[in-house]
Structure formats: C-alpha cells, structure tokens
Amino acid sequence: MRIAIAGLGAVGKTVARKLADGLPGLTLAAIAVRDHDKALAWLKQEGITCPLASLDELPAVSDVVVECAPPALLDQIVTPMLRAGKQVMVLSASALLPRADLVDLARATGGRIIVPTGALVGFDAVSAAAQGSIETVEIVTRKPPKGLAGAPYLVENAIRIDGITAPLCVFKGNARQAAVAFPANVNVIAALSLAGIGPERTQVEVWADPTLTRNCHQIRVVADSASFSMTMENIPSENPATGRITALSVIAALRRLTSPLVIGT
C-alpha cells in the first residue's frame, strides 16, 4: 500500500522516518510540501529516498495520504483523494467538523476519511458508548501557554497568556466553537466529538497553564452503558501544540490498514 505524506512538520517527519525504516505492507510513496529545498535537505540528512509531489499529484502516486498540514489546506489534500476513491488520514480534525460535504463525497466515491486517535486515550470506549445513549461528554484541555500561542480566539479577544503565573481558563463552549477558536490546537477535541455525541453537545474548557510542561486532557463521559473518566498527559513534540504520541498514533493506524490482527474497535 502506497503512503504519501502531506506536510513535513513534527508529525510528518516521524511518520516518514518510520515508513522509510519499514512497515509491513506499506511503502513511503511521496511527500508533498511547500518548501521543496528544505524538504530535500531534510530527506538527504535522514538518508531517506522519496519523491516530492504536488497535492494534485497525490491521487496518482498513493493509496493513502496522511494529512499533516495546516488546517487551511485540508480541502486541497482531501478532495482530490476522495474523488479518486482513495483514503485520507486526517489530523486536522477541527477543520473537518464544518465539512460534512467531504464525508458525503467519500460515501459517493468509495473513498474513506480516517481520523486517528491522536493525543487522546479511550476513543474505543467513547465510540462503543455512542452505540447506545450518551448523556454528556466533557473535556478539559490544559496546555503550557506556548502550546496555545497565536490561537485566533486569543488574538481576537485580546487574551494575553505570555507571562501568566497561574492557570487561566481561556475558553468555555462546545467542540464546534472550540474548533473555530483554536483550529491548530484542539484537534483532539474535534475528534472526540466525532467519536461521541457530536460537536454541539461535547462541552469544552481550554486552560493555559504555566505550571505544566505537558499537554493534558481530562475526559468525562456519562452514558447508559457506563460512566468513565480518562486523563492523558502528553509530552510535546518539537511543535509545542502537538504531543509526541500523535505521530505514534498515526503509525499505529497505518499498521492497522494491512495487519492480519487488529485489536480494538
């Protein structure tokens, strides 16, 4: 199965290394980036041989594209692949929330959108509970201030988090609102809402916490089948907004595509 990567940031680089090292039944087919010179220099440094391609070329050279790019590029990455009836692994789940048309396109063409677990634990439990009746889903996300820096909501509302000395709640609302407010920071929240009771009913708090060095998420679910809570503390990658486990989640999801044994729902 030919795998292409769109975007070569912290997640894209980790996935590229792993594919280059070898994953059963998978091959690194192409990488799409904006800065070709920078990408070629990195590939040479890592000893990885892989052609660069434009976004429009990806359907012809790959079976699955892993989207690791800025949310604004989601449509340019996903639409061509789905029109070709192929698969896209989407990390920018926040950008996916308002794009129900992409799901419709996948349904019409036989394509597929895969949202990996990413930085959260317990999606199996939430997805299972959603087959019955879920009463509430709440998530509290706490990040070091640099993990939220530059978010549109903070800029538009003149909320300053640089230099704070105590935890500060910077947002309360639902998952759809959070996705607009923090498009590059709360993909885990968007994914949780898709796995559970939807973005309008998934309640969210976002905190900037200068006492933390990790991105922390606490989920509470009340359903007719079970009530449970989960806590995750993710070590940031070289991109402070993204946990190291996000890239590993992508690798695990890729393995599932060809594995003879799949554990979990």
Kind plus residue range of the DSSP H or E element containing 188: helix 187-195
Any residues with CB less than 8 A from the CB of 128 and at least 6 apart, and which? 225, 265
Q: How many angstroms separate the Cα of 95 from the Cα of each of 35, 69, 118, 188, 251?
A: 23, 11, 15, 12, 21
CB neighbours of residue 39 within 10 Å: 19
21/226 Cα distance (integer angstroms): 41
How many residues does this entry show for the chain? 265
What's the burial of 253, exposed, middle or buried (CB within 10 Å: 0-12/13-18/19+)? middle
Q: Give catalytic residues, as residue numbers.
A: 217
Structure tokens at 27: 């091959």
CB contact at 8 A, 115 and 224 = no
DSSP strand pairing (64-67 vs 112-114)? unpaired
CB contact at 8 A, 115 and 142 = no
CB contact at 8 A, 2 and 61 = yes
What is residue 167's three-state secondary structure?
coil
Longest dimension (CA), the chain: 54
